[in-house]
Amino acid sequence: MHPSRSLVLLVLLTGAAFGCRQDMHDQPVLEEYEASDFFADGRGDRMPIEGTVARGSWSADEAFSTGLVGDAFVTELPVAPTQEFLERGRDRYDIFCSPCHDRAGTGRGMIVRRGFKQPTSFHHPRLRAQPVGYFFDVMSRGFGEMSSYAPLVKAEDRWAIAAYVRALQLSQRVVLAELEPSARAAIEASMAEAEDPAATGEAHPETAGGNEHHD
């Protein structure tokens, strides 16, 4: 290449590198927390609008997301307790709670039998008297040695579990006279049968001591 030609090229290249306008690099942008005289309060940052809540940490329904209305625990389930919902509750309870509280809720699950603190039975009068929101609250925030289940179990499932815990409690205290006649007749028949297996002519190994619980 001719020397004068390479000089021209050099000038062009240097021009391209240094001669650009710098506007794009020097925009009047405020850094975080930087002061500014643009707004009357002198801050560069704008405060979030009052009542703003971080995404994902809020639900339109206070009772549903906290188990509380004001300072009081919710006394009625904020979700309709359908058969399916209760079955979901049993499924989640058996997975997440029964290892300590056991499947019947008496507080003698396998982890407890291996040395973890024994929780109070759900059938204790103190817990039978607790509103359903209390169970949601304990699961959501933890209780003493028990950690929070909010990171593992979403709110709707925590309600399903709370409903199922209530069902477990009721299951231990059925008042026969309060049942529908057909349900009552069925239970009375099975009770009579359990008392006298010979009456039906069927073998009942579980009532004959074959399946007793030995601790």
Residues forming contacts to ligand HEC in the complex (CB under 6 A) are 96-97, 99-101, 111, 116-117, 119-120, 127, 135, 138-139, 143-146, 149, 153, 161, 165
Least CB distance to ligand HEC at residue 168 (A): 10
Q: Is 86 or 111 the residue whose CB approaches ligand HEC more closely?
A: 111
Kindly compute the dihedral angle of the four CA atoms of residues 18, 20, 26, 28, in this order, to the nearest 10 degrees: 170
Question: Is residue 153 within 8 Å of 92, Cβ to Cβ?
Answer: yes
Nearer to ligand HEC, 67 or 119 (CB): 119
Smallest separation, CB 93 to ligand HEC (Å): 6
CA distance 206 to 215: 17
Closer to ligand HEC at the Cβ: 86 or 179?
86
Q: Which residues contact 122 (CB under 8 A, 6 or more apart)?
A: 101, 105, 106, 107, 128, 165, 168, 169
Shortest distance (Å) from residue 135 CB to ligand HEC: 5
Task: Report the nearest approach of ligand HEC to the CB of residue 164 (Å).
Answer: 9
Of 148 and 207, which has the nearer Cβ to ligand HEC? 148
Output the smallest distance, CB 170 to ligand HEC, in A. 15
Cα separation, 34 vs 46, in Å, equals 11
Residue nearest to ligand HEC (CB): 144
- Using alpha carbons, select from 57, 34, 58, 55 the residue that is nearest to residue 46: 34
